[in-house]
Amino acid sequence: MKIYNHLILTLGVALMLFSCGQQNQSSNGALSSSAAEKVYVAPGEQDEYYAFLSGGYSGNLTVYGLPSGRMFKEIPVFSQFPTSGYGYSEETVPMLNTSHGFVPWDDAHHPDISQTNGELDGRWIFINGNNTPRIARVDLSTFETAEIIEVPNSAGNHSSSFITENTEYVVAGTRFSVPVPQRDMPINEYKGNFKGALTFISVDPEHGHMAIKFQLLMPGFNYDLSHPGRGKSHGWFFFTTYNTEEANSLLEVNASQNDKDFIAAINWKKIEEYVNNGGGTKMPANYAHNVYDEHSHTGTSTMRNEVLTIDPTKVPGAVYFLPTPKSPHGCDVDPTGQYIIGNGKLSADLTVHSFDKMIAAIEGQKFDGEAYGIPILKFEDVLAGQVKSGGLGPLHTEFDGKGNAYTTFFISSEVVKWKLGTWEVIDRKPTYYSVGHLMIPGGNSRKPFGKYVVAMNKITKDRYLPTGPEMEHSAQLYDISGDKMELLYDFPTHGEPHYAAGCPAELLTSNSKKIYRLDENRHPYAVTTADGSKVVRDGNEVHVYMSTIRSHFTPDNIEGIKIGDKVYFHITNHEQDFDVPHGFAILGQNSSELLVMPGQTKTSVWEPKEVGVWPFYCTDFCSALHQEMQGYVRVSPANSNTELKWSLGE
């Protein structure tokens, strides 16, 4: 009888679920369009939004269209990219220079689009390299990396690269605390000795050039994620912390002991004022600042040797700790700037702090002790509310601008929609599988475009055709224009995206360059006229000033190269027509090809090791005569007298 009851109950539940499903379907009705129609962008038509997905361990940034989920471009940022020669060409090798030498890879995490008055302005997109701490700026007119700055005293540059609402600063926080300055010391003396550097990098409003304004040396916790205040809370920055236990081993246990960690609230305006009045301590440091000039098509790396550090206890009223349960991960601020959301990744609940209550508690001096001299506010005094979601493992939250928030739950693998202020859960939809970040275009600004949310999953098992043990990750697109979220589409993503940034297409389309102007090319080895090509020997260095146009190289026959020479091929593409790049590769080249855009100059070095006649060719199918676009270099013995000469069509 008991078994019967059980069966009936189960059947009953199943029926209810089934009928719910039916109801949902019928409530959508025949009038609403299908998911397929919603994501279909017909040939020749364009997507409504750009989405920039971090490439994770690929080190790069990928550009997608929404709602189609089509990938348009991979922008090389922290990793060598043989497709274009980035990180291989003489001009771009300096972009990957660091205080540790040439680092051809990084783990790219959190893209953020520049803002003016808290709204996306579409000028630049910033992204952080996590492993060898760096921040990159990508120009959104060329969609190329324009600048990379290394962050000293940081380790695991994870609570980065988030920008303030007028792009005053791009902020880079350290995940791992380390000795500052670095020194030889026992690891188990971590507690009380390591520091966590939070770095505020100023952004030149006109050119976007970055410079470290100051580094706040915080207690040795792990600074996990951050977001700026906006609107009323503009001037503040919020960082989640974990490992406030300051464990140095087996963190999965030892850093999960405290019931509450902190959200660190930083009044950066106050610190900025302190710095502008001569505050702070200059500390020797060693970090690279790499800038790419669009007109010389050349990157330059400059080593910097000093950084301004700030002791947070020296600036009264600048830093407070907000107790937040269970090792919070994402730290998100709603579009009004009132709510600061701590996504307690080891709990079921979300903690929401109130900016107004925080200010009131600070003004009332209601502290609950301090940590390393930094006042801790009382949890109850700053708490706005808690979202009892029933999900497990909240990670990140975005906003739709209509009073709703969307939070990913990694463990229960779902996106939960809830209401700001009432904290009630409105809807929940499963993801496939184990969602990490999510992104609503503009979802972390004052003005979100709440039509779609992209969920970026960490695991994609079973959803696509199998491709062996390793596969791409998966994103899912939901329509959030209605009360209930609707799953529209799955699409694979490159690397492991950690966060993304999106914006309306029209913000960027009209600024996107089609060519580089040859008459603005200021590369020192550029050939800007049809008859300007030449070959110049300087000791054992040979510089080939070579031009390309459909479909030949000038020159295409070169003699007089000798074993032991270092041959620089400086290739200038004379095309001024959209989408007519030329490539260059020569047999035995110890680097990659070059892909040279119209009007651009790039350089590849070749050190021939064998006597002979060696071919080079265009690697980019440029015209009906692309296969004819080739040439030869004669390499003679080191002691030969072969005359240096070059020609075309002789």
Residue 97 Cα to chain centre, angstroms = 18
Taking the least distance from each CB to another protein, the nearer of 35 and 515 is 515
Q: Count of residues for the chain?
A: 650
CB of 623 to another protein, least distance (A): 8
Please state, in angstroms and rounded to a whole number, the distance separating the CA atoms of residues 325 and 312. 23
Element housing 418 (H / E): strand 414-419
Would you give the DSSP letter of residue 627? G
Residue 522 Cα to chain centre, angstroms = 30
CB of 624 to another protein, least distance (A): 7
Please state, in angstroms and rounded to a whole number, the distance separating the CA atoms of residues 61 and 221. 29
Which residues, listed in sequence order, are joined to residue 302 by a DSSP beta bridge?
289
Taking the least distance from each CB to another protein, the nearer of 447 and 513 is 513
CB of 527 to another protein, least distance (A): 16
Q: Strands across the sheet with 404-409, in order?
A: 394-399, 404-409, 414-419, 425-430
Taking the least distance from each CB to another protein, the nearer of 471 and 515 is 515
Alpha helices, H only, 29-69:
35-39
Residues with Cβ < 8 Å from 340, sequence gap 6 or more? 233, 238, 263, 265, 322, 331, 332, 333, 352, 353, 354, 355, 358
Q: Which two tokens stand for residue 338?
A: 């009132």
Please state, in angstroms and rounded to a whole number, the distance separating the CA atoms of residues 96 and 290. 8
Contact 423, 394 (CB under 8 A): no
Taking the least distance from each CB to another protein, the nearer of 299 and 599 is 599
Contact 353, 382 (CB under 8 A): yes
Task: Label the pairing between strands 210-219 and 298-310.
Answer: parallel
Considering Cα of 235, then 241, then 247, then 248, what sign does the dihedral take? negative
CB of 552 to another protein, least distance (A): 11
Taking the least distance from each CB to another protein, the nearer of 599 and 631 is 599
CB of 73 to another protein, least distance (A): 17
Taking the least distance from each CB to another protein, the nearer of 38 and 550 is 550
Please state, in angstroms and rounded to a whole number, the distance separating the CA atoms of residues 140 and 630. 34
Taking the least distance from each CB to another protein, the nearer of 28 and 576 is 576
Q: How many CA atoms within 13 Å lie on the side-chain side of 165? A: 23
Task: Label the pairing between strands 144-150 and 162-163.
Answer: unpaired
Taking the least distance from each CB to another protein, the nearer of 166 and 551 is 551
Q: Which two tokens stand for residue 579?
A: 């989408």
Please state, in angstroms and rounded to a whole number, the distance separating the CA atoms of residues 385 and 425. 13
CB of 517 to another protein, least distance (A): 9
Taking the least distance from each CB to another protein, the nearer of 73 and 388 is 73
Taking the least distance from each CB to another protein, the nearer of 263 and 580 is 580
Three-state secondary structure readout of 497-550: CCCEEEEECHHHHCCCCCCCCHHHCCCCCCCCCCCCCEEEEECCEEEEEEEEEC
Q: Rule CB under 8 A: which residues touch another protein?
A: 515, 549-550, 575-578, 623-625
Taking the least distance from each CB to another protein, the nearer of 514 and 522 is 514
CB of 510 to another protein, least distance (A): 13
Cis-peptide into 555, omega within 30 deg: yes
Please state, in angstroms and rounded to a whole number, the distance separating the CA atoms of residues 231 and 8. 55
Taking the least distance from each CB to another protein, the nearer of 313 and 623 is 623
Taking the least distance from each CB to another protein, the nearer of 336 and 623 is 623
Element housing 269 (H / E): helix 268-276
Q: Which residues of 298-310 are buried (b: 16+ CB within 10 A; e: fewer)?
A: bbebeebeebbbb
